[in-house]
Amino acid sequence: MKSTSNPTSNAVVLNGIGKTYENGAVVAVHDVSFDVRPGELFGLIGPDGAGKTSLFRILTTLLLPDAGTATVAGYDVVKDFRAIRGIVGYMPGKFSLYQDLSVEENVNFFATLFGTSVDENYDLIRDIYVQLEPFKHRRAGKLSGGMKQKLALCCALIHKPHVLFLDEPTTGVDPVSRKEFWEMLQRLKEQGIAILISTPYMDEAMMCERIALIQGGSIMSIDTPENIMQAFPATLYAVRATDAYHLRMDLLAEAFTESCHAFGDEVHLTLHTEGIAKAAGMEDVVAAMRARGHADVEIREIAPSIEDCFIRLMGQHHA
């Protein structure tokens, strides 16, 4: 499929995109701007209800934005929606292929809708399709969750799109299939296809080249995962004791605590670095917790994860 878009321009550009529902009562997306570069794997990271799906629907021309402009492969999402529909691949969060058609029939059907055939772009989907091949006469509705995702990816790729939009492709998929799925994406990236992917799983953010952290319809931070983690402004400690629940409550009660969140059986803690509560070190924390009756108190300094960054940004955002 040919296109007249400028190859040096960004694959996706958003400029102050806004969208509200129910006559402005519900704000889905507010003033969102970011770019996805050609051939980039860009992650949109945020919890459920953050506005990820609304952004995807705007970029895939299924929804009209209320404010701002956006382009995909140089085409405006409002004016040139028809051109965009021919050159993007979209995989909605919910499995949306024909459950009563077989694997093969689904792939062929979507190929013909884009005026192409499976053979024409077979090299692009080969890695994925060989895994589906044994089930090609099975109806799509009877596939396992992981297989469904692979089939959906095949159908989204069948016309060699310039940009691939994947809305929470790994939600509800087992860990092994999730890992496989990300490996497939890395290979696709090598083919030069720009990929915009959303996920609520913070650990998957590390697989992206750049990420945007989104919360409540607004972007909190856009950078590479490494830069976002380095930008974490405080020293982070992991504290552990036998009673993790009360440990967190007791830490929150201390004056030196700046923030304190439960992570599994640990508590991630940052300390005040200024003011009267300053100067607390690891020993002070341990001593304070022992004084409150906690046994086996351990503390160590850790590198912040994306999730730590996300929670911290979320706190600032609300303040």
* Binding footprint of another protein on the chain (CB under 8 A): 60-62, 82, 85-86, 88, 90, 92, 94-101, 105, 109-110, 112-115, 155
Which residues does residue 268 pair with via DSSP β-bridges, in sequence order? 238, 261
Nearer to another protein, 115 or 134 (CB): 115
Q: Give the nearest distance from C-beta 150 to another protein in angstroms.
A: 16
Residue 39 CA to residue 162 CA, distance in Å, equals 9
Q: Give the nearest distance from C-beta 264 to another protein in angstroms.
A: 35
DSSP annotation of 305 reads P
What does the DSSP assignment read for 1-49?
A: ----S-TTS-SEEEEEEEEEETTTTEEEEEEEEEEE-TT-EEEEE--TT
Nearer to another protein, 28 or 202 (CB): 28
Nearer to another protein, 99 or 186 (CB): 99
- In terms of Cβ atoms closer than 10 Å to its own Cβ (0-12, 13-18, 19+), residue 276 is exposed
Nearer to another protein, 75 or 237 (CB): 75
Token match 């969060």: residue? Answer: 93
Question: 78 to each of 150, 151, 194, how far by Cα in Å?
Answer: 30, 29, 20
Q: Give the nearest distance from C-beta 58 to another protein in angstroms.
A: 12
Backbone angles phi, psi at 10, to 5 degrees: -70, 150
Q: Give the nearest distance from C-beta 215 to another protein in angstroms.
A: 25
Q: What order do you get walking across the sheet with 75-76 strand by strand?
A: 26-36, 12-21, 67-72, 75-76
Q: Give the nearest distance from C-beta 128 to another protein in angstroms.
A: 17
Q: Give the nearest distance from C-beta 53 to another protein in angstroms.
A: 11
Nearer to another protein, 19 or 248 (CB): 19
Question: 317 to each of 162, 217, 232, 244, 309, how far by Cα in Å?
Answer: 34, 12, 15, 27, 12
Residue 292 CA to residue 211 CA, distance in Å, equals 41
Q: Give the nearest distance from C-beta 105 to another protein in angstroms.
A: 7
Nearer to another protein, 94 or 290 (CB): 94
Nearer to another protein, 91 or 280 (CB): 91
Closest CA to 162 of 257, 51, 41, 72: 72
